Amino acid sequence: MASRQDFGSWLNGGPPAHGSQPGVEGAAEPQRAPLGRRVVALIIDWAVASGITWLVFQGQPLAQLGVFALVTVVLVATLGTTIGHRLTGLRVRRINSPTPYVGVVPALIRTALLCLVIPAVVWDAQGRGLHDIAARTTIVRA
């Protein structure tokens, strides 16, 4: 008999239970990233943005948020990882997608909501922030 977990959930945007992904036979779901690593990665990314802002814009706070957003969008869209993610062994992946690339639109959605802060600190049962749920992404161990 099928249960609710067999069909996934529209709220979490995740794949069906048992680690399978539609269209990918026998694919196991990657291990989700622990909160501690994600926080350390965010601190590293913010420090990189601070350094760039200090060098280029003499430390203007609004410029720092812009630099953080630009670096995050470009790196997540193209490489699937930011500098902080790379150093902590994490990767951003699209839910239910066999390709390793996140893409520009999900990276923009994810980053815009991350910069608003509140969506990033509200999680679902699997530990995904609202910014990841909206972008249909998740952070996993690389």
Question: What tens digit of pLDDT does each residue of 104-133 get?
Answer: 999 999 999 999 988 888 988 888 899 999
Q: Residue 29: what are its φ and ψ, rounded to 5°?
A: -70, 135
| CA–CA gap between residue 53 and residue 56 (Å, rounded) | 5
- When pLDDT is cut at 50, 70 and 90, the band that residue 100 belongs to is confident
Two structure tokens written together for 85: 């993610």
pTM metric for this prediction: 0.76
How many Cβ atoms are within 10 Å of 122's Cβ, its own excluded? Answer: 12
Whether residue 45 contacts residue 53, with contact meaning beta carbons closer than 8 Å, is answered with no
Kindly state the tokens that stand for 57: 């814009």
| Spacing of C-alpha 102 from chain mean position | 9
Give the other-Cβ count within 10 Å of 13's Cβ: 20
Domain limits, the chain: 31-141
